[in-house]
Amino acid sequence: MAVNVAIRHEISEEEYLQGELYSDVKHELIDGEVYAMAGVSKNHDRIAVNISRLLGNFLLNSPCEPFSTDMKVKVGRNFFYPDAMVVCNDQTDNEYYTESPTILVEVLSKSTRRTDETIKRTAYQAIPTLQEFILIEQDFVDVEVCRRNEGWLPQHYFLGDQFTLDSIGFSVSVEDIYRRVQNEDVLTYLQQQVVEGAS
């Protein structure tokens, strides 16, 4: 999700949550400061929709539940809007956020990379229930998967690859995550597929 501008006014969790119920613009709360969320590109939204749809279809008859960009995750005193998440055993007694995600997904862009790769990565990996954290580039093809059982060491996947989210037993191809995305890597890959299919 894109972070725009910090509103320099420290507020309480209660004020933040109440404000989000009536705001037309989503905000994240980081260290007491409110950050308005900027709009996203078509590619960003295509990736977020793809991964949410794929998770949703897979988890249709599962106790694990997928959520998209409108559900918050609470980490300590901070609140974030991940681009997608899976919750398998919700221990949070609140309808508007969870504190117990199993999987969190962020789609990266130039404006969000610093926050997603530093503040959010550190915060997310401190969540006891989190098993996998996924960073997906929108401007080129790179899916980074960090798994708790591998010490959060990143594994990178590219077009032609498939990977598994062990916590829910879900296997997905990188191609499906980037379906309809228009960047140079995807267009080159699709052209190669056409050439190979014709030969």
Per-residue pLDDT of the chain (199 residues; tens, 9 = 90+): 454 444 456 789 999 999 999 998 999 999 989 988 877 899 999 999 999 999 999 999 999 999 999 999 999 999 999 999 999 999 888 999 999 999 999 999 887 788 888 899 999 999 999 999 999 999 999 999 999 999 999 999 999 999 999 999 999 999 999 999 999 999 999 999 888 877 6
- Label residue 180 left, alpha or beta by phi (over 0 means left) and psi (-120 to 50 means alpha): left
Count up the domains in the chain and report the number: 1
**What is the reported pLDDT for 1?**
47
Residue at 143 is within a domain: yes
The CA distances from residue 146 to 35, 82, 105, 149, 151, in Å, are 26, 15, 10, 9, 8
Output the DSSP codes for 7-47: E-----HHHHHHHHHH-SS-EEEETTEEEEEEP--HHHHHH
Residue at 20 is within a domain: no
Residue at 175 is within a domain: yes
- Sign of the Cα torsion 80, 137, 60, 151 reads negative
Print the SS3 string covering 99-140: CCCCEEEEEECCCCHHHHHHHHHHHHHCCCCCCEEEEEECCC
Residue at 45 is within a domain: yes
**What is the reported pLDDT for 9?**
63
**What is the reported pLDDT for 85?**
97
Q: Domain range spanning residue 116?
A: 40-198
Decide if 179 contacts 46 (C-beta within 8 A).
Answer: yes
Residue at 15 is within a domain: no
Residue at 8 is within a domain: no
CATH code for position 169: 3.90.1570.10
Instruction: Tell me which residue has tokens 């989190």.
Output: 130
Q: What is the pTM of this model?
A: 0.91
